[in-house]
Chains A and B, each alone.
Chain A
C-alpha cells in the first residue's frame, strides 16, 4: 500500500485531520508530519492571549500517525473494501516542550504489537529543531463491522 493510499483511507477530515505527510512506513514503524495552522480556533482559548497547542492535539497527531496510518498499512487490502471504525483505547504520554502556532511536528511510532485488531505503539513527537516534544505509549483498535 502506498503512502498516498494510506492518507486517502484515513477516516479523518479537517478540522480533525492531523496528518499532512507520511515520510516513512513499514511493518514495524512509521513517521509522519503535521503543521499546526496558526488560524486554528483552539488557539483563541488555549490560552487567553497566550496560544499554545493543546496536549490532546499533540497526542492526536501521534495517534493518527502511529495508530491510524500504521494500522491501515498493517491491515492491508482487506480494509479497502470496507472502511473500518477506529478507536483509541489508551494513552500514556509525557510532555516536555510547548508547540506554538505554525510549528511543524514529526511523529514517530514503533509497533509494540498488532494482534486481534489491537495496535499498541511506542510514540514520540519532535519539533523542527529535533527536540522531543512528548512521548509515550498509545493503543487503539480497529472495529470491523460485521456483515449482515
Chain B
C-alpha cells in the first residue's frame, strides 16, 4: 500500500472523530491525532478499533500508546500487514 492511499483511507477513518476540519483537510504523515486533529483520548480508541477493522489486524496496548500520529499509524499497520 502506498503512502497516499493509506493517508486517504485514514482520513476517512478519523473524519467522524476529528474536531479540526482544517487539519483533517490537510492531513499528512506528520499530523498528530490529538494536538492537530483535536481527537480526544477516548475517541482515539475508536480510531484504533476502526483501523483494526479496516485492515483486519489486532493492535496491542503498547502499539496503541505509540499510535499518536499518522506516520506511527502507518508504521504499525504496515508491520502488521507484513506479519500476515
Contacts and interface: CB of A to CB of B under 8 A. Distances in A.
Interface stretch (B1-9, B40-48, B76-84): B40-48
Q: Is the interface of A mostly helix, strand, loop or mixed?
A: strand
B49 A139 contact: no
Most buried by A among B43, B45, B64: B45
A19 to B, nearest CB: 22
A85 to B, nearest CB: 13
B61 interface: yes
Contacts of A90: 42
Interface residues of B, number: 9
Contacts, number: 21
Contact-residue bracket for chain A: 10 to 19
Contacts of A118: 42, 45
Contact of A115 (B40, B41, B45): B45
A115 B50 CA distance: 12
A58 B44 CA distance: 27
A115 B49 contact: yes
A38 B20 CA distance: 45
A115 B45 CA distance: 8
Interface of B: 40-43, 45, 48-49, 61, 64
Interface of A: 89-90, 113, 115-118, 139-141
Given A89-B42, A116-B48, 14 more contacts: A89-B40, A89-B43, A113-B49, A115-B45, A115-B48, A115-B49, A116-B61, A117-B45, A118-B42, A139-B42, A140-B42, A141-B41, A141-B42, A141-B45
5 contacts: A115-B45, A115-B49, A116-B45, A116-B61, A117-B45
